[in-house]
């Protein structure tokens, strides 16, 4: 049984990752602003705000997965400096805080690894994504820098999804017509599901990925590389 720390595991992709890891027989620590509405012998939960609270100690850690993110889509003239700062704090500084808090424990783990999250918008250049793209580009840089610094002891990878069907994305995927239009922009013509992302996270922290580090894994229906 592995010990998995998930930051932001109560909703969306994080929730799917926690559920999947429990089903795989691993022990999950979910530190999030709200708790999952489930109980399990292999689930430890504590309410936690990444911007204001200190992370509690965990005795044994084999993987750290940092899930918090934001969808703050506005034209550049409507974005305030505070928007950029807030997105950077949540996405980048929160990840840095989590890594620094658990690094000395994680390095003692079994095939230890870190998984961070970016977005397809970093590689594609999408309108109205200035703030989140700046923050997530920072995450991609952090991924590669940490992977180099922590090799060969800890693997560090990043998942860059396209828009995914979660509560956070509901205001974008707000009706069938919009959902169809967005799906058709992807070569595979479908909306990404949270399980698609959790499957990649499961793989990256497993022994099957023992020779993978410093990578940005695009789970985006082909959007980042294909022109169809």
Percent of the chain with pLDDT over 70: 100
List, for the chain, all residue ranges whose pLDDT scores fall below the cut of 70: none
pLDDT at 186: 94
Alpha helices, DSSP H, located in the chain: 12-23, 81-88, 94-106, 121-124, 130-150, 176-184, 194-204
pLDDT at 198: 98
pTM: 0.95
pLDDT at 71: 81
> Which residues have a Cβ under 8 Å from the Cβ of 17 and sit 6 or more positions away?
6, 9, 65, 67, 197, 198, 201, 202
The CATH class that applies to domain 3-165+193-219 reads: alpha beta
All structural domains of the chain with their residue ranges: 3-165+193-219
pLDDT at 227: 83
In degrees, to the nearest 5, what angle opens at C-alpha 207 toward C-alphas 147 and 118?
A: 45
């Amino acid at each position: 049984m592995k010990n998995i720390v998930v930051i932001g595991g109560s909703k969306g992709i994080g929730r799917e990752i926690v559920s999947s890891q429990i089903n795989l027989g691993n022990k999950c620590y979910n530190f999030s602003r709200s708790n999952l509405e489930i109980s399990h012998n292999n689930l430890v939960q504590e309410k936690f705000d990444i911007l204001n609270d200190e992370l509690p100690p965990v005795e044994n850690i084999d993987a750290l997965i940092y899930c918090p993110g934001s969808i703050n889509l506005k034209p550049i003239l409507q974005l305030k400096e505070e928007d950029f700062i807030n997105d950077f704090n949540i996405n980048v500084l929160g990840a840095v805080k989590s890594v620094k808090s658990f690094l000395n424990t994680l390095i003692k783990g079994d095939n230890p690894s870190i998984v961070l999250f970016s977005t397809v918008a970093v590689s594609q250049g999408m309108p109205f994504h200035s703030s989140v793209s700046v923050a997530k580009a920072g995450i991609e840089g952090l991924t590669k820098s940490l992977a180099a610094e922590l090799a060969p002891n800890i693997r560090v990878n990043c998942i860059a999804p396209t828009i995914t069907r979660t509560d956070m994305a509901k205001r974008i995927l707000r009706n069938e017509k919009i959902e169809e239009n967005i799906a058709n922009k992807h070569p595979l013509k479908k909306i990404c599901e949270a399980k698609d992302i959790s499957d990649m996270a499961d793989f990256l922290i497993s022994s099957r990925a023992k020779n993978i580090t410093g990578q940005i894994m695009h789970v985006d229906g082909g959007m980042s590389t294909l022109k169809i």
